[in-house]
Chains A and B, each alone.
Chain A
């Protein structure tokens, strides 16, 4: 195979199999940020107060930035000449690999915060480790993203506490959001076959090793929020393998509308 001069040297070291796995993994990370960013951007102009409109747009923008770096890298790994936009706008729902959590509807502000907090806890701790990946490109993307994720986690943690230890109504709404969304938190750290292979190869972190730090953070925030950590909840999975909830189709219909209507054009 002819290697393009712009290609990172590290890519040559991977077997086709690992390269394929890495492509699938990077795509999964990109899908995740894209879909959550999409959800947050739906809040635009509809937030509870201007400062939080701004914060949510800010987080959505960070996630979208991370998405673009990841898709660009995925396209490079794939080596088929697809672009970030091809990967975002021209794949089917069954080809999307985001975990179920991030495609859940915004609901009320409490649901948005719970979804964000559960994701941020994983995202931050995962990026801290991913930053040490021997894959230079992944490590570089993680290095940039972890600074943003630290900010996101601070924001969502503080809101968990405000809502949990706020008024009776905010507490009741937070409880309801947790009852709905907690079941999607397990998938984040349940490795797929691809992730297991990359974990075994030492390219991505072992999620089991992330759990103590994640659990400690959750316990701390829930403690401050005076909310008990849910126990014994059945965990839904499937998103990371392309088996989604019914929500994703609608997201993609909206997200992909322009590219599907006017294929192959420059914008």
Chain B
């Protein structure tokens, strides 16, 4: 019996190593399944919770064009949530259970959405920085070993890169605008810079899942590698905008051909992860409230569908 198990594991790893995608009906180690359910559902939850900080500005967007773009973006996010929940369901997870885990606080979502959106420029920063970080995380996931996840990410990334350009365009318009718009952009960057660096997760040394996830090719790069890429990409963009990154340690390192940068405030990171960020309670509270207050709607839809099915059956009989 044991030898069979080992063979399955070996075969599985051989497929992974050969970059053959794993599909829902294939054998996979329990831990691989669990890791993926955790990661994909967390990703789906992030799309869902991520609608809130941006949704916060839809009714206040400064022009009809910007309002349309923002609405369309939030709609895309709901769609991404749906793709991802579907991808997680192929692993045997149920959406109801995943949502229950989100609502109970058992499942996490991206720490970034626990920061408040305080000015219009935040819509620029969320698009430019937050979606920029998400893309760096997600582009490698288009080649992740689990097929349904990889295919969902291909679709997500196309829309996400569009959002990111839109976010940059908001920043650019602000930076080319009146002094108070430029100040608004800088103030927002000051608040969002460090939280976006935290989106890549803890340092490699403190990331227990990384080695296994890399082995299974769920992850293609480590947290620190992606964070470095992000800084290298964003510092020149901030300079282009005429903005200052709020980190005095940022400096081009000729030898490394990369930017050196300061230390993330890990205490703040862990506090936010543990539920003590500015908006953790509000975000989760809003989701739970929507779910609870929507219960009667979902029940009505089910009851009506049942009545219809029964009537159709009676008619057929």
| Residues in A lying within 8 Å of B, measured CB to CB | 34, 38, 41-42, 44-54, 57-58, 60-61, 64-65, 67-68, 71, 84-85, 88-89, 108-109, 161-163, 165-167, 169-170, 173, 254-255, 257-259, 262, 265-267
Contact of B64 among A71, A265, A266 (CB under 8 A): A71
- For the complex, what is the distance from the CA of A108 to the CA of B298, rounded to whole Å? 13
Interface of chain A: mostly helix, strand, loop or mixed: helix
A64–B68 contact, CB under 8 A? yes
Interchain CB contact under 8 A, B304 and A165: yes
Could you tell me if B60 and A257 are in contact, using CB atoms closer than 8 angstroms? yes
Cβ-defined contact, B58 with A41, below 8 A: yes
User: Residues of A contacting B26 with CB < 8 Å?
Assistant: none
Select A38's contact among B59, B173, B178, B307, beta carbons within 8 Å: B59
Residues of A within 8 A of B181 (CB): 262, 265
Q: Are B307 and A54 in contact, CB atoms less than 8 angstroms apart?
A: no
Q: What CA separation (Å) do A43 and B291 show in the bound complex?
A: 13
Name the distance in Å between B36's Cβ and chain A's nearest Cβ: 20
Bound CA–CA A61/B304 (angstroms): 28
Given contacts A162-B300, A266-B177, contact A60 B71 (CB under 8 A): yes
A41-B58, A46-B286, A54-B78 are contacts. A262–B294 as well, Cβ < 8 Å? no
- Asked if residues B60 and A162 are in contact (CB atoms below 8 Å), the reply is no
Give the residue name and chain of the A residue nearest to B53 (CB). Answer: A45
Q: Pick the contact of B297: A52, A57, A262, A267 (CB < 8 A).
A: A52
Chain B 197-216 interface residues, beta-carbon cutoff 8 Å to A? none
Q: Which residues of chain B from 227 to 242 have any CB-CB distance to chain A below 8 Å in the complex?
A: none
B residues within 8 A CB of A257? 60
Interface size on B, residues (CB 8 A): 48
Q: Could you name 17 residue pairs across A and B whose Cβ atoms are closer than 8 Å?
A: A44-B55, A44-B58, A44-B71, A45-B52, A46-B289, A48-B290, A48-B297, A57-B78, A64-B71, A65-B68, A67-B64, A89-B62, A161-B304, A163-B300, A166-B301, A267-B63, A267-B174
| B120–A258 touching, CB < 8 Å | yes
Question: B residues touching A (Cβ–Cβ < 8 Å)?
Answer: 48, 51-52, 55, 58-68, 71-72, 74-75, 78-79, 81-82, 85, 120, 170, 173-174, 177-178, 180-181, 286, 289-291, 293-301, 303-304, 307
Least CB separation from A262: chain B residue: B180
- Residues on A with C-beta less than 8 A from B290 are 45-48
* CB closest residue in chain A, given B79: A54
Q: Are A167 and B82 in contact (CB under 8 A)?
A: no
B48, B74, B300 pick with most chain A CB within 10 angstroms: B300
Q: How far is the CA of A145 from the CA of B224 in the complex (A)?
A: 49
Q: Are A68 and B64 in contact (CB under 8 A)?
A: yes
Give CA–CA (A30, B52) in the complex, Å: 27
Which residues from A are CB-within-8-Å of B85?
Answer: 50
Distance A49 CA – B75 CA, assembled complex (angstroms) = 13
Contact of A64 among B64, B82, B291, B303 (CB under 8 A): B64
B301 adjacent to A258 (CB under 8 Å): no
Shortest 6 CB-CB distances between A and B: which pairs? A48-B294, A166-B300, A170-B300, A258-B62, A44-B55, A48-B297
- Which single member of A84, A109, A258, A265 contacts B60 (CB below 8 Å)? A258
A47-B64 contact in complex given A54-B75, A57-B75, A166-B299, C-beta closer than 8 Å: no
Cβ of B294: which chain A residues have Cβ within 8 Å of it? Answer: 47-49, 52, 109
Q: Are B60 and A254 in contact (CB under 8 A)?
A: yes
